[in-house]
Structure 1
Amino acid sequence: MRRSGLATPRRVERDGADDVFAEVEKDFAVRDGWVYLQSAGAGLAFPGAADAAGRYFRDVAALGCDAQQRWRAEADGAKERSARLLSVPADEVGFFRNTSEVINLAANSVVWSPGDEVVVFADDYPCNVLAWTSAEQRGATIVRVRPRDPATREDDLLDAITPRTRVVCVSHVHPWTGVALDLTRIGAACRDVDALLFVDGIQALGAIPVDLTLVDVYGAGVFKWLLSGFGTAIGVFRERAREALTPIFRSYGNPAPSASFSYAAPNFPGLYVLNATLDYLEQVGWPWIHARVRDLAGSVISGLESRGIPVVTPMELRAGIVAIETPDSARVADALRERRVSVSDRAGRTLVSPHFYNSTRDIDRFIDALDDVLATM
Structure 2
Amino acid sequence: MSPQLKDVEKAGLRSLRRKRNPGDIKPEDFFNDTEVLRKEFARLVNAPDPKRIVVVPSVSYGMANVARNLGIGRGQNIVIAAEQFPSNYYPWQRVCEETGAQIKAVAPPDVLAGRGKTWNTRILEAIDSNTKAVALGNVHWVDGTLFDLLAIRKRTREVGALLIIDGTQSVGALPFDVQSIQPDALVCAGYKWLLGPYSIGLAYYGEYFDNGTPIEESWMNRAGSENFSRLSQYNGDYQPGALRYEMGEHSNFMLVPMLQKSILQLNRWGVANIQEYCGHITHEAVNLLREKGFWIEDEDARSKHLFGIRLQGRDAEKIKALLQKNNIFVSFRGDAIRVAPNVYNTDKDLKKLATLLSR
1:190 matched to 2:156? The reply is: yes
Aligned match of 1:74: 33
Query: Does the C-alpha gap of structure 1 residues 294 and 99 become closer, same or farther in structure 2, counting only changes over 3 Å?
Result: farther
Unaligned runs of 5+ in 1: 1-41, 373-377
Which of the numbers 275, 287, 305 marks the counterpart of 1:290?
275
Q: Matched residue pairs, number?
A: 329
Aligned match of 1:130: 90
Which of the numbers 249, 252, 260 marks the counterpart of 2:216?
249
1:117 matched to 2:80? The reply is: no
- Secondary structure of the 2:154 match is helix
Which of the numbers 79, 83, 102 marks the counterpart of 1:141?
102
Task: Give runs of aligned pairs for residues 182-331 of structure 1, distance below 5 A.
Answer: 182-213=148-179, 214-242=182-210, 245-254=212-221, 258=238, 260-266=244-250, 267-311=252-296, 313-319=297-303, 320-326=305-311, 327-331=314-318
In the alignment, residue 53 of structure 2 is paired with which amino acid? V
Query: Does the C-alpha gap of structure 1 residues 101 and 314 become closer, same or farther in structure 2, counting only changes over 3 Å?
Result: farther
In the TM superposition, residue 296 of structure 1 has moved relative to its aligned partner by: 3.2
Distance across 2 between alignment mates of 1:323 and 1:49: 29
Aligned match of 2:18: 59
1:90 matched to 2:75? The reply is: no
Describe the superposition over 1:301-320 as per-residue Cα deviations: whole angstroms up to 9, x where unpaired: 32311333222x33212211
- Secondary structure of the 1:206 match is coil
Identity of aligned residues (%): 23
1:160 matched to 2:145? The reply is: no
In the TM superposition, residue 189 of structure 1 has moved relative to its aligned partner by: 0.8
In the alignment, residue 106 of structure 1 is paired with which amino acid? V
Relative to structure 2, which stretch is displaced further, 359-368 or 253-262?
253-262
Query: Does the C-alpha gap of structure 1 residues 353 and 132 become closer, same or farther in structure 2, counting only changes over 3 Å?
Result: same
In the TM superposition, residue 323 of structure 1 has moved relative to its aligned partner by: 0.6
Which of the numbers 348, 354, 357 marks the counterpart of 1:367?
354
- Secondary structure of the 2:20 match is helix
Distance across 1 between alignment mates of 2:265 and 2:121: 37
Distance across 2 between alignment mates of 1:337 and 1:188: 44
Describe the superposition over 1:158-211 as per-residue Cα deviations: whole angstroms up to 9, x where unpaired: 100001111110111101121121212111111111110001110111111002
Q: State the superposition RMSD in angstroms.
A: 2.0
Distance across 1 between alignment mates of 2:173 and 2:270: 12
In the TM superposition, residue 67 of structure 1 has moved relative to its aligned partner by: 4.6
- Secondary structure of the 1:124 match is coil
Distance across 2 between alignment mates of 1:252 and 1:74: 17
Distance across 2 between alignment mates of 1:112 and 1:249: 21
In the TM superposition, residue 47 of structure 1 has moved relative to its aligned partner by: 1.0
Relative to structure 2, which stretch is displaced further, 206-215 or 61-70?
61-70
Question: Does the CA contact (< 8 Å) of 1:112 and 1:139 recur in 2?
Answer: no
Which of the numbers 133, 139, 160 marks the counterpart of 1:173?
139
Question: Does the CA contact (< 8 Å) of 2:57 and 2:247 recur in 1?
Answer: no
Aligned match of 1:338: 325
- Secondary structure of the 2:202 match is strand
In the TM superposition, residue 273 of structure 1 has moved relative to its aligned partner by: 0.6
In the alignment, residue 140 of structure 1 is paired with which amino acid? A
In the TM superposition, residue 333 of structure 1 has moved relative to its aligned partner by: 2.1
Describe the superposition over 1:192-250 as per-residue Cα deviations: whole angstroms up to 9, x where unpaired: 1111000111011111100223211011111111111211111010123435x443433
- Secondary structure of the 2:353 match is helix
In the TM superposition, residue 297 of structure 1 has moved relative to its aligned partner by: 4.2
Question: Does the CA contact (< 8 Å) of 1:249 and 1:263 recur in 2?
Answer: yes
In the alignment, residue 264 of structure 1 is paired with which amino acid? G
In the TM superposition, residue 257 of structure 1 has moved relative to its aligned partner by: 5.2
